[in-house]
A and B are shown apart, each in its own frame.
Chain A
Amino acid sequence: DAKTTQPNSMESNEEEPVHLPCNHSTISGTDYIHWYRQLPSQGPEYVIHGLTSNVNNRMASLAIAEDRKSSTLILHRATLRDAAVYYCILKLGGSQGNLIFGKGTKLSVKP
């Protein structure tokens, strides 16, 4: 599985946007970019995923570089409930491939 690199931790202020980066320079053409987050003592929660084009949903936006070697998860207005570990994961499309978790980025949100 192709590897992703994320900062260990980031801090944000409440109600401000947060940009969480992820590098995946060895991504293959069939890999989708997935983001999950895990709140303390809970199972991971799906956030968003994409292949080439930028994606938006009610939780976040995903900006994918043109060469697909990096991506950025954007939380438009961070809240205290967004404090979690965010995982950027590459996975084959559809039913193929497993979700292999790296270390993720621990996001802290200050009031």
Chain B
Amino acid sequence: GAVVSQHPSWVICKSGTSVKIECRSLDFQATTMFWYRQFPKQSLMLMATSNEGSKATYEQGVEKDKFLINHASLTLSTLTVTSAHPEDSSFYICSARDLAGVGSRFFGPGTRLTVL
């Protein structure tokens, strides 16, 4: 099946710094990528939807200036957590939909962010 990778798989940073997470579709072109956040023992929460070459669409309650999303190519989307704080510590997961737009989505392995 289609493969989605994320980098890094885990990151620890100091409060106030910015962290960039990459999401790549390895064997298909993704017109749309989705970013989720998952706190411990909770379900995934959709943060935003990004389409290649256009601005991301953020879910209600998600600060677009804090979570910067760039989808510059059909195989790469990045999420930058700006001025991270301990409450931003979470498991960030991306998902991609291929050009064919089939119903199933492919998920990355996730990035564990810990902000000290």
Please report A residues at the B interface, Cβ cutoff 8 Å. 32, 34, 36, 38, 41-46, 49, 87, 91, 93-95, 98-104
Contact = CB atoms under 8 A, between A and B. Distances in A.
A94 B98 CA distance: 11
Contacts of A94: 101-103
B95 A99 contact: yes
Contacts of A99: 34, 46, 95, 105
Contact of B109 (A42, A87, A91, A98): A42
A98 B33 CA distance: 11
B93 interface: yes
A94 B109 CA distance: 24
A100 B102 contact: no
Contacts, number: 56
B54 interface: no
Given A41-B110, A42-B109, A101 B43 contact: yes
A44 B93 contact: yes
B39 to A, nearest CB: 12
A101 B44 contact: yes
A49 B43 contact: no
Contact of B97 (A32, A43, A95, A103): A95
A44 B108 CA distance: 8
A45 B95 CA distance: 10
Nearest to A94: B101
26 contacts: A34-B104, A41-B91, A41-B112, A42-B109, A43-B4, A43-B109, A43-B110, A44-B107, A45-B107, A46-B1, A49-B104, A94-B102, A94-B103, A95-B32, A95-B97, A95-B101, A98-B34, A98-B46, A98-B49, A99-B34, A99-B46, A99-B105, A100-B46, A101-B44, A101-B46, A102-B43
